[in-house]
Structure 1
Amino acid sequence: MLMIPLKAVSGYTRERMIADINVTEKSFGDKQLYKELKFSVQDREKIGLIGRNGIGKSTLFGILAGLDKDFSGDITYRRGSVVIATRQEHHGFEETSVMEYILGDLPEYSQLKKILDTYPDIMGDDMRKIETYTNALTRFDDLGYYTIENSIETELEKFQIPKELFGGPLKNLSGGQKRLVEVVKIMHANAHLALIDEPTNHMDFVAKEQFVNWFKAAQEAIIVITHDRDVLHEVDKIVEIKDGRAFIFPGNYDAYLKQNATNTVSGMHTFEVTQRQIVNLKAKLTEYRRLKERARDPGTIQRFKTLETKTRAELDQLSAIEKPSFWIDRN
């Protein structure tokens, strides 16, 4: 669980915004992963994060969770925001029981539970300790923690994890079962923003239906990396990482397909026009050079030199335009 304070950023006044993401540069060695990747997350917003394999989706989660600080830019969270992310690896948690692992990420749970378990034996007549204990009792009840273990067990059973594994170490679970435990942890974390990576992998129909129903009703903002169209059907917007940037499409995956088709056709047309302009400019450049070499009058030679320089500058500008990721060269 991550408690992330708001950074001091001028103009940050949009009350519904949970996170403002601006990664200006991120590289691995000589490979540039992001360049000016920007988008925001609103309160209770569900975002589907998509992109081809290796494009940097999980890397972005590492940045948002505060685990990867080797980037240029700024990640700004609303003051007091709680951010939780699913773990891909569980180093250091192998011997932790499934129940303890989930409970350990609940806000205030460990601290309150320690007070409730230890203070009755040590507080005596100490009024400060009695007050602390009383406040802990009230807070524990307000957070619904007296029944939390039963609720967690119910969710684990719905995901078809055998009951005999609940109290056993995490290392006894398969990779698929650990992924389900991560989902249950997210469900009970009461976070403001949840980062969920491929949640429905290894889920059968019953488990996936349970997850999708929770996802639709969840009160926290969620960014989910997934290729599952049933999940993407329930998001509020799609953020696609492509060419090092974030392309935003309001609506669910169906809306994305329609918008992307329109954008693709428009982009192909624009780039095709640019390619025709380049061909024409190259032809002009060749003609100006030929006329310059044939000319004898100094004024005429200078005029063709000027035209040649101007045309070369235009050609360089158009040639620098990046090829769209969907473009297929014609032979």
Structure 2
Amino acid sequence: MPLVTASNVTMHYGGPDLLKNVSFDIEPGHKIGLIGQNGTGKSTLLKLIIGQIEATAGEIHRQRNLNVAYQAQELVYDPGATVLDEMQKLFAVDVRRQQKLHALEERMANGEDVLAEYERLQHEHEGSGGYEVERKIEQVLTGLGLPEASWTQPIETFSGGERNIIGLARILLQEPDLMLLDEPSNHLDMDGIEWFIQFIRNTRAGVLMVSHNRHMLDATTTEIWELHGRKITRWAGNYSDFARQKAEALALQERQYKSQQRLIKRIQFQARRLMDMANAYDDPGQAKRAKAMLSRIDQMDKVDAPDRSESRFHAQLTGGKRHGHMALEIADLTIGVSSELRVPGSGSNAANSELGTQNPERKLLEAASLEITFGQRVALVGPNGSGKTTLFKAILDHADWENPDIDVIEGPFHIAGRLRTGKSAKIGDYSQIHQHALDESSS
């Protein structure tokens, strides 16, 4: 029996329809990737399924007593709550029972005769899987890349990306019937993504996941839903299977379209000749034949031209006049963390949002050297806390053509070495901070 069934669902917000007569089933245990261009209604579809918004038309039926977990963009939590507080709320009965056991242990240590009550409660706790609670929480938080030292910190001290990870951990610990996930890998590092992939592959829950991470979609999904033109097209297999099938379907459609267009042009040409003859010789029979031929075109099931809009945009980024080939030189650069420790998410230094509590003697970067030339595309990868954002900030704040040598202390960071830009180089940046600073009501 499907977990969720949608029948002829239409959704609009006063303008053109966002979804039009969409129907689908979500079966137990199915792992589905939801893809489509921005603005096609992916997040809207998740909200319709969870019941957060109502469809303009159509029906959505959910299995009775269905447990659905939805990854909201904003984490809702109790003021002052720590990471562990939020995780343990999911197992409130087990946690309270565990607290009672600790209290009984203290009473027994003081000589009170409560052994029978303790054994009864211990048996109950063991039978309900209570001893697994701490192990589960530790496994998920560690797997997603949240350091243990941060688990007892208030959630409000964490960055937006870290809060998203906390929200994802809470969903995974719920063990629901259906998970609705919106870009779950956005703030995970490489190790976190690989752990998350294994979790999704092993879970018995159904999963509907919006993601642009093709590697993750390939590794986890058994079906791809493409949201395009207000409709959902379902493709069997993972993302690579979808890409192959879509390319084959577009190629076939293009052949059929071109073949039909050639036929239409031949018919139109012949009809024009007949009409010319009818006019020249005042022959109603020829005119009737011409009209009959043109009516064949009207009666055809027209093949639409393939829509390749998703691959039409090609940006060519060009700079101004260049002096030399070097865009950025990094030489003997060392970034260390001083004795000043950071509470997760606190402080004004944007670099701190990534680091978490660090060993005060730790070197994030030591005697690093690198040259980037104009036109090169370089990817910087590494686990959370390895210093990627810190390096970016050092480049933005200190890289210079005339004064490249630096030796500064900024908050907990000691930065020393050479950061030289090309003579004509200009640096632009886009960070997680900028994502949340955009006005979503603007075009």
TM-score surpassing 0.5? yes
Partner of 2:30: 45
Matches of 1:163 and 1:88 in 2, distance apart? Answer: 24
Q: Given residue 26 of structure 2, which amino acid in structure 1 is its aligned partner?
A: V
Task: Report if the CA contact (8 A) 1:33-1:56 is conserved.
Answer: yes
Q: In the TM superposition, what is the alpha-carbon distance from 1:309 to its structure 2 partner?
A: 6.2
Partner of 1:325: 307
Matches of 2:153 and 2:198 in 1, distance apart? Answer: 28
Q: Given residue 325 of structure 1, which amino acid in structure 2 is its aligned partner?
A: D
Describe the shift of the 1:163–1:303 C-alpha distance in structure 2 as closer, same or farther (beyond 3 A).
Answer: same
Partner of 2:103: none
Partner of 2:256: 270
Matches of 1:153 and 1:225 in 2, distance apart? Answer: 26
Q: State the Cα deviation string for residues 237-261 of structure 1 (Å, max 9, x = none).
A: 1111122222222222232233223
Matches of 1:188 and 1:62 in 2, distance apart? Answer: 21
Describe the shift of the 1:211–1:312 C-alpha distance in structure 2 as closer, same or farther (beyond 3 A).
Answer: closer
Q: Given residue 308 of structure 2, which amino acid in structure 1 is its aligned partner?
A: F
Partner of 1:12: none
Q: Given residue 161 of structure 2, which amino acid in structure 1 is its aligned partner?
A: G
Q: State the Cα deviation string for residues 43-78 of structure 1 (Å, max 9, x = none).
A: 111111112222221111111111121332222222
Consecutive unaligned residues of structure 2, counting only runs of 5 or more, are 101-120, 313-443
Matches of 1:140 and 1:180 in 2, distance apart? Answer: 29
Q: State the Cα deviation string for residues 11-37 of structure 1 (Å, max 9, x = none).
A: xxxx3x222233432224333322233
Q: How does 1:297-312 map to 2 (within 5 A)?
A: 297=283, 299-300=284-285, 303-304=288-289, 306-307=291-292, 310-311=295-296
Q: In the TM superposition, what is the alpha-carbon distance from 1:236 to its structure 2 partner?
A: 1.4
Partner of 2:272: 286
Matches of 2:79 and 2:246 in 1, distance apart? Answer: 43
SS in 2 for 1:24: strand
Partner of 1:238: 224
Task: Report if the CA contact (8 A) 2:42-2:210 is conserved.
Answer: yes
Partner of 2:206: 221
Calculate percent identity across the aligned residue pairs: 22
Task: Report if the CA contact (8 A) 1:284-1:311 is conserved.
Answer: no
Task: Report if the CA contact (8 A) 1:39-1:248 is conserved.
Answer: no
Q: In the TM superposition, what is the alpha-carbon distance from 1:152 to its structure 2 partner?
A: 1.4
Q: How does 1:92-241 map to 2 (within 5 A)?
A: 95-104=80-89, 106=90, 109-110=91-92, 143-145=128-130, 147-233=132-218, 234-241=220-227
SS in 2 for 1:22: strand
Task: Report if the CA contact (8 A) 1:212-1:230 is conserved.
Answer: no
Task: Report if the CA contact (8 A) 2:94-2:130 is conserved.
Answer: no
Q: 2:243 aligns with which of 231, 253, 257?
A: 257
Q: State the Cα deviation string for residues 146-172 of structure 1 (Å, max 9, x = none).
A: 542452134213333243543443322
Q: How many equivalent residue pairs?
A: 290
Partner of 1:86: 71
Matches of 1:213 and 1:220 in 2, distance apart? Answer: 13
162-171 or 247-256, larger mean C-alpha shift? 162-171
Task: Report if the CA contact (8 A) 1:153-1:166 is conserved.
Answer: no
Q: Given residue 89 of structure 1, which amino acid in structure 2 is its aligned partner?
A: E
Task: Report if the CA contact (8 A) 1:196-1:224 is conserved.
Answer: yes
**TM-score, reference length from structure 2:** 0.57
Task: Report if the CA contact (8 A) 2:267-2:294 is conserved.
Answer: no
Matches of 1:92 and 1:269 in 2, distance apart? Answer: 55
Superposition CA RMSD, Å? 3.4
Q: Given residue 65 of structure 2, which amino acid in structure 1 is its aligned partner?
A: G
Q: Is 1:21–2:6 an aligned residue pair?
A: yes
Matches of 1:295 and 1:311 in 2, distance apart? Answer: 24
SS in 1 for 2:193: helix
If asked which structure has higher relative contact order (CA below 8 Å, sep 6+), I would say: 1
Q: Which of structures 1 and 2 has the bigger CA Rg?
A: 2
Consecutive unaligned residues of structure 1, counting only runs of 5 or more, are 1-14, 119-135
SS in 2 for 1:32: coil
**TM-score, reference length from structure 1:** 0.74
Task: Report if the CA contact (8 A) 1:165-1:172 is conserved.
Answer: no
